[in-house]
Amino acid sequence: MRLYSKNQVIGIVLVAAALASGFTLLISSRDSDTAAVNSEASLETPELVLQTGTMYGNDEFALSTLDVASSDGYTQDEQQNISVYERANEAVVNITTETVGINWFLEPVPQEGGSGSGSIIDTRGYVVTNTHVIANAVKIFISLSDGSQFEGTVVGTDKENDIAVLKFDPPKNRDLSTIPFGNSSNLKVGQKVLAIGNPFGFERTLTTGIVSALGRPIKTASNTIIKDMIQTDTAINPGNSGGPLLDTQGRMIGINTMIYSTSGSSAGIGFSIPVNTAKRVVSELIQFGKVRRGSIDAELVQLNSSIANYARLSTNNGLLVSRVGAGSNAEKAGLKGGTEAVRYGAGRSSSIIYLGGDVITGIGKDKIDTLTDYYSALESRKPGETVEVTVLRGRNQLTLKMVLAERQ
C-alpha cells in the first residue's frame, strides 16, 4: 500500500474539485446553447401545434386531450350541463293531482293523488306529460319554477303511448319558457342525454347519462306495447315521469316514462317515449282531443288453446274473426266471419262468439298472435290507409288488401 502525506492529500482534493467545476461549466454552456436553439425554433413555428394539433411527443398528446377548465373553473362537460339546465329548467313543471277516496262513512272525500313532471311546449300553456301521472285525477295542479301554481285541464290522453296533454292559463304578462322538440330518429347508443324532473318531490333535479339502447318494445301497465322506446342509464325515479329527456342542445328527444327496478328506485335502466312518437300524438291530442287510429271493422277474438281445440283450428295464435259488419271495409276486402254461435266464458263474463271465420295472423310486416300485437301494429296507422292483412282460412293462407276504418 502506498502512503500519502497530509500535504499531498490536500493537493489531490483541490485538483479534483477544479476539474469537476470545469466540467459542470462546460455542460451548462452546452445546455444553454441547445435551449436557445429550441427557443428560436419554437418562435418560428408556433402554428404547427396550435392550428393542426400535430402530436410530436407524449407530452403534447396529453395536453391536447385534457378537458381544460374554463376561466370560471368549469370543465367543458360541466359547462354543457349548466347551459342545458339553465336553458330548460324553467320549462319543466311539477304536476300534482287530487283524487276522490271513500271515508269510514262511505262518503266521497278528496285526497292527495300522484305527482310527476311535465314540459311546457307552447307559450299558451300547453304541457306534455304521461297519462299515468294524472290517472284518476279530479283536479290537476301545475307548479312553475317560480313557485306559482295553476289548475290544469286535460286536453287529451293517449293510453297506448302513455302521453297526455294538459293546459293552464298563464297571466297575460307572463312569458313562458318552452322546451323545443328535437328528433329521435338520429339518436346513437352512447350519446349523452340529460333528464330534468321532480324525483321524490325534489323540484327540477338534473341527472345525466347516455343512450343505452334504442328501439325497445315495452309493455305498459295497460297491456299495450310502446314501440321504439329509448333506454337510458340516466337516473329516473318516481316523480320523474312525464319530464323531458334532453340532448346536449337542450332539445327534447324523449319523455321519461318508466324504470326497470326491483326496489322502486333507479337501477340504471330507464325508458323514454321517443319524441317523434310524442310529436305525432301531441299534435292530434291538441287538434282532436284524441288520437285517430285505423282499425279493422270486425269483431275479433284472441285465440287460445281452448278455442282452437274446440274449433279444430290448425293454430293457437292469432285473432279469430267472429263477425263482419255488412257493407264494412272488412267485408269489401273479402274478410269472412264465423257462422257457428257458441257461448265462451263462464258466468257474467261469458259472451257469444262465432266460429268458422278467418284467423288474422299478420298485418303488413307485423306478426299478429295477440290483441296486443294487433293494437301495436295499427298504432301509427290512420283511418283510410290500406294495409295487407294475412289470414288463415281453413288451412290456406291468404293476403287481403283492406282499407282501415276509424277505431271507436
**What integer pLDDT is reported at residue 61 of this predicted model?**
36
Asked if pLDDT for residue 55 goes beyond 60, the answer is no
Q: Are 321 and 299 in contact (CB under 8 A)?
A: yes
pLDDT at 340 over 80: yes
Identify whether 266 is part of a domain: yes
> Over the chain, what is the mean pLDDT?
82
pLDDT of residue 11: 52
Q: Is 328 a catalytic residue?
A: no
Provide the pLDDT for residue 267.
65
Q: Return all residues near 120 (Cβ < 8 A) that are at least 6 apart.
A: 91, 92, 93, 126, 127, 176, 177, 178, 179
CATH number for 334:
2.30.42.10
Alpha helices in 45-120 (DSSP H): 47-52, 58-64, 76-88
Q: Is residue 398 part of a domain?
A: yes
- Cα–Cα distance between 60 and 315 in angstroms, integer? 69
Are 270 and 322 part of one and the same domain? no
Mark which of 27, 49, 64 sits at the end of a domain. Answer: 64
Res. 34: pLDDT tops 70: no
Residue that wins the pLDDT comparison between 383 and 64: 383
pLDDT at 405 over 80: yes
pLDDT of residue 71: 54
Question: Residues 132, 272, 358, 373: which is the catalytic one?
Answer: 132
Across 361-380, average pLDDT? 92
CA distance 211 to 194: 10
**Can you tell me the mean pLDDT for 232-236?**
89
Residues 217 and 250 in one domain: yes
Q: How many domains does the chain have?
A: 3
Q: For residues 101 and 149, which has the higher predicted lDDT (pLDDT)?
A: 149
| Per-residue pLDDT at 403 | 95
Note whether 13 and 51 are same-domain residues. Answer: yes
What pLDDT is stored for residue 349 in this prediction?
76
Q: Which of 23, 46, 64 is the last residue of a domain?
A: 64
Known active-site residue 162: yes
Domain membership of residue 13 (yes or no) is: yes
Read off the DSSP letter of residue 243.
P
Q: Tell me the pLDDT band of 348, cut-offs 50, 70 and 90.
A: confident
Is residue 120 included in any domain, yes or no?
Answer: no
| Tens digit of each residue's pLDDT (9 = 90 or more) over 107-154 | 888 888 888 999 999 999 999 999 999 999 999 999 998 889 999 999
Q: What is the pLDDT of residue 30?
A: 45
298 plus 402 within the same structural domain: yes
Q: What is the structure's pLDDT at 174?
A: 86
3-state secondary structure of 77: helix
Output the pLDDT for position 263. 60
Higher pLDDT, 23 or 191: 191
Average pLDDT, stretch 220-245?
A: 86
From 5-19, 54-68, 268-282, the region with the lowest mean pLDDT? 54-68
Q: Which domain holds residue 263?
A: 192-274
Domain match, 208 and 260 both:
yes
Q: Is 70 a catalytic residue?
A: no
Average pLDDT estimate for 365-371:
92
One domain, residues 266 and 300? no
- Any domain includes 105: no
Query: Is 310 found in the same domain as 241?
Result: no
Domain shared by 313 and 262, yes or no: no
% residues pLDDT > 90 (the chain): 57
Q: Where among 43, 64, 85 does a domain terminate?
A: 64
The answer to whether residue 349 is domain-embedded is yes
Catalytic residue among 115, 158, 162, 358: 162
Global model pTM greater than 0.95: no
Q: Is the pLDDT of residue 363 over 50?
A: yes
The pLDDT, as a whole number, for residue 108 is 83
Is residue 176 one of the residues assigned to a domain?
A: no
Residues with Cβ < 8 Å from 270, sequence gap 6 or more?
195, 231, 232, 233, 234, 235, 236, 240, 256, 258, 259, 260
Establish how many alpha carbons lie within 13 A of residue 398's alpha carbon, considering only the half-sphere containing its beta carbon: 17
Query: Whole-angstrom distance between the N-terminal and C-terminal Cα of the chain?
Result: 119
| 212-229 average pLDDT score | 85
109 occurs within a structural domain: no
Catalytic residue among 117, 119, 212, 241: 241
Q: What is the pLDDT of residue 301?
A: 93
pLDDT score of 266 = 58
Same-domain check for residues 223 and 258: yes
DSSP for 246-265, written as a single string: E-TTS-EEEEEEEE--SSSS
Q: Identify whether residues 307 and 400 lie together within a single domain.
A: yes
Q: In which region does residue 170 sit, left (phi positive, over 0), alpha (psi from -120 to 50) or beta (all else)?
A: beta
Q: Which pLDDT does position 262 carry in this prediction?
A: 63
